[in-house]
Structure 1
């Protein structure tokens, strides 16, 4: 992640929290917790991952794409194309 350090630390913090949530869901499954309760936690994990992805995408647009636009047309075209593909993947997920 090429952006400012505070954004990087925020993303790492979020990912660690998500990792803990996933471990919690593993325990819930192992302990035969009611399926709907497990699914609720899975939904929360998905929402957290989507939020993290949006943060990463925003950072990519603010830093990488903006810098590429300033440098020139060909590089800008490549970075915008990468961002478009990333957005398409996020929408499908």
Structure 2
């Protein structure tokens, strides 16, 4: 379970940070910062995943996201004229929305 892994990582971070001087070492500092960032992202995704309207979408074959989509309309000068946030995969429906 992701929740168990996150809890383990949080405990590991506390233990490492409690050791004075260890966190300053480059071989520890960089991986520790990456672990902290990963835990933060995982906690955010756990919170977001409780949203029943959000779901996984795909930007490309190798890239995906979880949540909602924002569709924007811009004028030629690249100024945003309108924006619509949709749930799930409603790209086709946005083409019929008048701004």
**TM score, norm. by length of structure 2:** 0.39
Going by fraction, where is helix more abundant, 1 or 2? 1
Would you tell me which structure has more strand in proportion to its own residues?
2
Asked which structure has the greater RCO (Cα within 8 Å, sep 6+), the reply is 1
| Greater C-alpha radius of gyration | 2
TM-score in terms of structure 1 length: 0.41
